Amino acid sequence: MNKVIKRDGNVEDFDTGKIERIAKAAGLNDVDSQKVAKNVAEWVLAQGKPVQTVDIRNEVVNELQKVNSYAANLYLWYETTKYKQDKV
C-alpha cells in the first residue's frame, strides 16, 4: 500500500476507508462512495511514491465532481473551513 505524507510531515499508510467516509459525509450513497474511494485508491497506487494529502484532496474533488458536483462543493467548503479553524 502506498504512503501518505500528512501536512505535519508524518507519513502513514493510505486508507481507502477514509476516502469512503469523506464521500459519504459529502452526501454520496454507499455505492458512489465506494466508487470514489476505489478510483482515488487506484490513483494513489499509480503514483508509485508517497503522496501529499493536498494531492489526494484534489483527486477526491475530481472524483466527487464526476459523481455529484454538489457533494464536491460541500467537501471543498468543509476543507476550507476546517483549515481556517486550524489557524485560529
Q: What whole-number distance in Å separates Cα of residue 37 and Cα of residue 83?
A: 22
> In which domain, by residue range, is 82 found?
3-86
Q: In the numeric block, which cell numbers belong to residue 47?
A: 503514483
The number of domains in the chain is 1
Q: What whole-number distance in Å separates Cα of residue 25 and Cα of residue 3?
A: 23
5 SS3 class? strand
Yes or no: say if 83 and 36 are a contact pair by the CB < 8 Å rule. no
User: Which pTM does this prediction carry?
Assistant: 0.86
How confident is the model over 6-56, as pLDDT tens digits? 989 999 999 999 999 999 999 999 999 999 999 999 999 999 999 999 999
